[in-house]
Structure 1
């Protein structure tokens, strides 16, 4: 299961994952990320992971493929908050932070969900809530 969840900041795409994630659910999240990138100069992510067991094979391949396409587009990403109590997810997030230095990735325990949401919602210095005012109209 992978569902989008609401966040008060428009530049943040938030989602909750657990159980088994399908390719269709992952595509829905990718579409939300791409839509946010079209209207904001930098976006942030919140991923709440609760009892994630696995991704279907097609979801895993889609995730890897999408991730590879983003390597040349990391300037669009500001922060990623990973909310989980699963140790293996925390280790994976720390590895990703070392690999994707352009994006700040931080893990939070589930009890700090509100802190994670607030941290992800902070705009980078120099960015404004309304990118249209700065003349930004997406790529």
Structure 2
């Protein structure tokens, strides 16, 4: 499940992940990303992973479709919070792959530090 949360940053797509992720979860989250991208030149992502039990294959396809159609060029930074070592390794790999995005991984107890990190990427509204 993906649940939207408010971290007080207007251009941040902020959400909490728990249990399994469905295609519907991904569709709703990507719609929010698209909406933010229509308001701001650059957006940030805050992803808090409490637990992760799996991902529907159709959810992966939905994300790939979004990346092909919309892209990631409007994402300036991402803060991923997790205590899972294997997810931390994935985040480090993503940081190397997506060089135009500043991706940082934080332990779950460092929520304030993650928000401060994203605050460096203040929003610019589109005209």
Task: Assess same fold via TM > 0.5.
Answer: yes
> Could you say which residue in structure 2 is the equivalent of 1:28?
28
Give the direction of change, closer, same or farther, for the CA distance of 1:100–1:34 in structure 2 (3 Å limit): same
Pair 1:62-2:62 in alignment: yes
The RMSD of aligned alpha carbons is 1.6
In the TM superposition, what is the alpha-carbon distance from 1:56 to its structure 2 partner? 1.1
Question: SS state of the match for residue 48, structure 1?
Answer: strand
Aligned length: 127
Q: When you count helix as a share of all residues, which structure comes out higher? A: 1
Structure 1 residue ranges, 4+ long, deviating more than 3 angstroms after superposition: 67-71
Alignment of 1:14-93 (within 5 A): 14-71=14-71, 73-74=72-73, 76-93=74-91
Alignment of 1:101-116 (within 5 A): 101-116=99-114
**In structure 2, C-alpha distance between the alignment counterparts of 1:54 and 1:67, rounded to whole Å:** 20
The unaligned stretches of length 5 or more in structure 2 are none
Give the direction of change, closer, same or farther, for the CA distance of 1:66–1:85 in structure 2 (3 Å limit): same
Whether the aligned pair in 1 keeps the contact of 2:42 and 2:124 (CA below 8 Å) is: no
What is the TM-score with the length of structure 1 in the denominator? 0.84
* Larger CA deviation: 78-87 vs 58-67: 58-67
